[in-house]
Amino acid sequence: MSKLIEKYSFVILFIFITFVFGLYLTFSTTEDSESGLVEIKVQQGDTLWELSQEYGEAFALSEKEFIEWVTTENNLTSHIIKEGDTLVLPVSDEDNYEDGIILASDNE
């Protein structure tokens, strides 16, 4: 048995390293996909249409597609948002927000 392990030690090491690297890629990809989201607090007068014009371009989404995405991801029952609501929106990588929370009014 020990001769068998010695003979295939490089193969076993290769499989182990490949497995560990695969786990690393899996978890690092998952974190990256969530980093493209930002949480905003809706201010008086904000509409999904205005938000779609502001944020939708970064992901090549039309206004309608952006509004549908936001409605679905935030479990909204209509396209009407109210002051104080918290929404999760996609943002581009070049937008760097320190704590991931911004006010919609900050983007004017």
Output the pLDDT for position 31. 45
Q: Are 76 and 70 in contact (CB under 8 A)?
A: yes
- Same domain? For 30 and 40 the reply is no
Is pLDDT at 27 greater than 60 in this prediction? yes
pLDDT band at 20 (very low <50, low <70, confident <90, very high): very high
pTM value?
0.53
The pLDDT tens digits of the residues spanning 57-104 come to 777 788 888 899 899 989 999 888 999 999 988 776 544 444 455 555
Other Cβ atoms closer than 10 A to 70: 22
Give the CATH number, domain containing residue 65.
3.10.350.10
- Same domain? For 69 and 108 the reply is yes
Instruction: Quote the domain boundaries for residue 85.
Output: 36-108
**If you search the block for the tokens 């939708």, which residue do you land on?**
56
Q: What's the number of domains the chain is made of? A: 2
- Same domain? For 1 and 49 the reply is no
- Same domain? For 11 and 61 the reply is no
- Same domain? For 71 and 19 the reply is no
pLDDT band at 14 (very low <50, low <70, confident <90, very high): very high
